[in-house]
Amino acid sequence: MLLRYGGEAFFFARRRRTGREKGANPMKSAGTKILLDGKGVERVLSRLTHEVIEKNKGAGEIVLVGIASGGVPLSDVIRRKIRVIEGVDVPTGFVDITLYRDDLSRAGYQARMKRTEIPFSIDDRKVILVDDVLYTGRTIRAAMDALVDFGRPRNIQLAVLIDRGHRELPIRADFVGRNVPTSRSETVLVKVEGDPGEWTVLLKEEPPGKGE
């Protein structure tokens, strides 16, 4: 059982070299496009939830694991929606993949650790990995490595809010909220904290040097 420090929530200050920035105020300047607003995100997540339930013939055998930190609030929303739709409280946890990254010793990067909490067995369960943006696929590969150290799931399925293409590994999502073709110089910014009415997904022109 993970120890909590002073009852703090699970996010620490961090910098991820993934080209996605959380908590950044959406910049309504030239070069920034709103892909989804609060209502849009809500609708997409509802559809995703229904797809998950449909493909798995109910919520009885699934567990949700959000990839820290973008996938965590999303997995929480999906869990709530499943409870409303199916009346089932699906076990939900989250996993930090920092220790499984394949790029730890790259110059200039300092991985700040986040929290992992999977307080239930994943043996023989169907694990739905949840993340906000699917890009190169390396995060998902790391998440799968982490999961496999926790147990032996029956299968692992992937649900993402946005698939922006440019895969570098043979990874594909089972459930996609929105397919957004992007160029490498663009960034997808997902804000899913705070009031869900204010959740947004932005596409922003970003100078090269960032991103996976």
Partner 1 sequence: MEWHRRHVLGLSDFHPEEMEFVVDTARSMEEVLTRDIKKVPALRGKTVVNLFFEPSTRTRTSFEMAGKRLSADVVNFSSGTSSVTKGETLLDTARNIEAMKPDILVVRHSASGAALFLSRHVSCSIINAGDGQNEHPSQGLLDLYTILKVKGKIAGLEIAIVGDILHSRVVRSDLHSLGKMGAKLRLCGPATLVPKEMARTGAVVTSDIREAVRGVDVIIMLRIQLERQKTAYFPSLREYSRMYGLNRDVFSLAKEDAVIMHPGPINRGVELSDELADCERSLVMRQVESGVAVRMALLYLLAGGSHAAH
Closest CA to 18 of 133, 119, 99: 133
Q: Quick one: which segment of 50-58, 59-67, 100-108, 163-171 binds partner 1 (CB under 8 A)?
A: 100-108
Q: Quick one: which segment of 19-27, 46-54, 95-103, 163-171 binds partner 1 (CB under 8 A)?
A: 95-103
Ranges within 25-44 binding partner 1 (CB under 8 A)? none
Q: Quick check: 107 binds partner 1 (CB under 8 A)? A: yes
Q: Please give the structure tokens belonging to residue 106.
A: 């790259």
C-alpha 69 chain-centroid distance: 7
Beta carbons of 183 and 159 less than 8 angstroms apart: no
Give the residue, chosen from 27, 85, 104, 169, that forms a contact with partner 1 under the rule CB under 8 A: 104
- Closest to partner 1 by CB, 6 or 208: 6
Ranges within 173-192 binding partner 1 (CB under 8 A)? none
Beta carbons of 126 and 56 less than 8 angstroms apart: yes
Give the residue, chosen from 22, 26, 150, 210, that forms a contact with partner 1 under the rule CB under 8 A: 150
- Closest to partner 1 by CB, 156 or 180: 156
Could you tell me the maximum CA-CA distance found in the chain, to the nearest angstrom? 49
Is beta strand 200-205 parallel, antiparallel or unpaired with respect to 32-36?
Answer: antiparallel
Give the residue, chosen from 92, 116, 139, 187, that forms a contact with partner 1 under the rule CB under 8 A: 116
Q: Quick check: 96 binds partner 1 (CB under 8 A)? A: yes
Q: Quick one: which segment of 80-88, 149-157, 160-168, 190-198 binds partner 1 (CB under 8 A)?
A: 149-157
- What are the angstrom distances between the C-alpha of 8 and each of 3, 4, 23, 205? 11, 7, 18, 34
